[in-house]
Amino acid sequence: MSRKLTPRQVIARSYPTWDYGMADRLIAWLDDCGYEIVEKGATLQDASLVPTATDQQEQLKLARAH
């Protein structure tokens, strides 16, 4: 049976003394920078680097405006 750790525990255990304070600060900093911790195997709509048709239309509108 595998033990499932929270993201906070995984980050804290990377420090010699399981520093939960540092893990909390790191998670807060990543959140402030716009990153999000997701479950393994989860797919996000925003994660694709391939532009959608809407993205391409918006880029064309911006190009015509300049």
What is the reported pLDDT for 63? 75
Residue range of the domain that includes 3: 1-40
| Angle 19-33-27 from CA coordinates, rounded to 5° | 20
What does the pLDDT look like over 15-61, one tens digit per residue? 888 999 999 999 999 999 988 887 777 666 665 566 666 766 777 77
C-alpha to C-alpha distance for 10 and 64, rounded to whole angstroms: 48
| Angle 48-49-53 from CA coordinates, rounded to 5° | 85
Q: Taking the model in full, what pTM does it have? A: 0.56
Structural domains counted in the chain:
1
What does the pLDDT look like over 8-23, one tens digit per residue? 999 999 988 899 999 9
50 within some domain: no
What is the reported pLDDT for 40? 74
Query: Is the CB of residue 12 less than 8 Å from the CB of residue 20?
Result: yes
58 within some domain: no
Nearest to 8 by CA among 25, 32, 43: 25
Is the pLDDT confidence value at 62 over 90?
A: no
18 within some domain: yes
36 within some domain: yes
